[in-house]
Amino acid sequence: MTLKLHSNKTINIFSALTDTALDLPIITEGISAGFPSPALDFVDLTIDLNKHLIKHPSATFYGRVKGSSLKNAGIDDGDLLIIDRSLEPTNGKIAICYIDGEFTAKRISVKKNELWLMPENDSYKPIKIEKENDFLIWGIVTHVIKSF
Amino acid sequence: MFALVDCNNFYASCERVFRPDLKGKPIVVLSNNDGCVIARSNEAKEIGIPMGAPAFEYEQHFTKHNVQVFSANFALYGDMSQRVMNVLSDYSPEIEFYSIDEAFLKLTGFEYFNLQEYGNEIRYKVHKWTGIPISVGIAPTKALSKLANRIAKKYPDITKGVYIIDNEEKRIKALKWLKVEDIWGIGRQHAKKLKAIDVNTAYDFTKLDDSWVKKNLAIVGLRLKRDLQGIPTLDLEEIQSKKNIATTRSFETNYTKLEQLQERISTFAVSCAEKLRQQNSCCNSVMVFIHTNGHRNDLPQYSRNIVIQLPFPTNSNIELVKFGKMALEKIFKKGYHYKKAGVIVQDFTPEDIQQLMLFENRDERHISLMQAVDKLNKSYGQQKIRLGSQDLRRVWKMKQEKLSPRYTTKLSDIITIHC
């Protein structure tokens, strides 16, 4: 918020705007009058994982995994899932589905007009979606974050 | 052209995004402290739960109809609102966020688009991305877009949630359908006045004499009339900044002492002052009210409010608390059990336009002091810096027995995915 501090016919003085920040790469070369460092041309911006992992912030939600039916896809109990609702559910994608009262993640498989939810763990069976199931596809898993 | 986008039963819809099992089931959301109903799903409206219904009176009704009851989860609603608004921002360079669940989009230059398809696309995308269902009204003026939205919402089967007023026939039909008390911006008092002279619909209103409208409803009424006639008069943001800001609460127990109420009024005044500063306004008058519990027939009842005109416009915590307490002392009476109190600030002027008064002026030092306070409270958490009249130990314990998880704003509350 800028505030008018002083004003007369010739000049208006405002307070400085200080409530936002802009991060700039720090240049540690010092200032010298000689030959500039060639490395300065290659200063990178910082890596912001938000930008790389989240393409549609307004449509992105997080979920916590419980269970091991997607073990072979690299999704384990306790992992954090990044879910993007804006993406279309297509064959082979890992989707967050709502079925009969709970959220679940499974790989989607469409075979001859049949919709199957495929596990990635031999101890689990594929689920065929029938008309009587209370079912909806809620979002698409784009990334999984694990902590070691 | 303007589009008004309005989220359908917003709070209830937010809860439903994370609870798809509640589709088609009645939902109500309760106010702070679980006092009364502030939002209802369509199903809850159908079984006759009125807006503002006291929760305790309707408890049996809720159980009988299997109504899902939620405490207000403003962290969730605020985040979902931002998501919806962000998606909408892709559809017009000029947008006015009118309320937590409504936005006007200016569609100047979009006339050659197929607006029906555009409306459908907005509706599809907001729902797909955020899970929130919306209604879209499109018309040549703001007031008409509000009306078109009402039609879209009222007749979802026919309109599929998108309605456009783009010719005279539709405009007249819509105006004849809209009751005068439902016109956007016409208050209850004005509606009464209009009905007294046999103006019952928005159409009747547009047929009134300009001079009559101006005399009885002031220039705002005249602008509204033009807008309803299809002449673009209201532009984005014109009715934007709030006319008043209120902070009111029911107490978890009854208060009988002046000191207890003073503490509450101070805290409410500070909250109003913060909101004023957020929108760069100062207020010129303050209303304070207190009342006893109307449902306790066994106790003596008392309810009073008082409006005090301030000697100068202000948005300083210190000054508003001072005036708030002054007002409270004028209306407080011993011997009653107070259940609710509130502070409402009104009559705003922009912060940077200050008229110098002859005798008393605002203390300019407060401006920078308040900036410092806001900054500290922002970085160290709510209410770290308080005034002496606010209880430092007191952490506001809100009754929130039916609070849903903060699915989108707290990592420990995110949805569980069964794998």
The DSSP line for B276-335 is HHHTTEEEEEEEEEEEE-TT-TTS---EEEEEEEEEEEE--HHHHHHHHHHHHHHH--TT
Instruction: List beta partners, residue A105.
Output: A96
Contact list, A68 vs chain B (CB under 8 Å): 419
pLDDT of residue B101: 93
Please give the ipTM for the structure prediction.
Answer: 0.73
Mean pLDDT in order along chain A per 10 residues (148 residues): 56 58 52 61 72 93 96 95 96 94 94 92 94 91 94
Using an 8 Å CB-CB cutoff, list residues of chain A that contact chain B.
1, 3-4, 19, 56-59, 61-70, 75, 77, 80-81, 85-86, 96, 98, 101-106, 134, 136, 138
Measuring CA to CA, which residue among B55, B7, B8 is closest to residue B30? Answer: B55
CA Rg, chain B, in Å? 23
The DSSP line for B390-417 is S-SS-------TTBPP-TTT-GGGSEEE
Task: Give the chain B residue whose CA is nearest to the CA of A57.
Answer: B83
- Dist. CA A95–CA B24, nearest whole Å: 24
pLDDT of residue B239: 44
- Dist. CA B179–CA B314, nearest whole Å: 39
pLDDT of residue A75: 96
pLDDT of residue A1: 42
pLDDT of residue B77: 93
Count of Cβ atoms closer than 10 Å to residue B11 Cβ: 25
pLDDT of residue B294: 81
pLDDT of residue B352: 74
Q: What stretches in chain B show pLDDT beneath 50?
A: 238-240
pLDDT of residue B305: 86
Task: Give the chain B residue whose CA is nearest to the CA of A121.
Answer: B419
Contact list, A138 vs chain B (CB under 8 Å): 20, 131
For residue range B361-384, list pLDDT tens digits in order. Answer: 777 788 888 888 888 877 776 667
Contact list, A66 vs chain B (CB under 8 Å): 416-419
Contact A85/B131, CB-based, under 8 Å? yes
Task: Give the chain A residue whose CA is nearest to the CA of B351.
Answer: A3
For residue range B293-333, list pLDDT tens digits in order. Answer: 888 888 888 988 888 888 888 999 999 999 999 999 999 99
pLDDT of residue B297: 83
Contact B416/A63, CB-based, under 8 Å? yes
For residues B393 and B28, the answer to whether their CB atoms sit within 8 Å is no
Contact A77/B280, CB-based, under 8 Å? no
For residues B105 and B123, the answer to whether their CB atoms sit within 8 Å is no
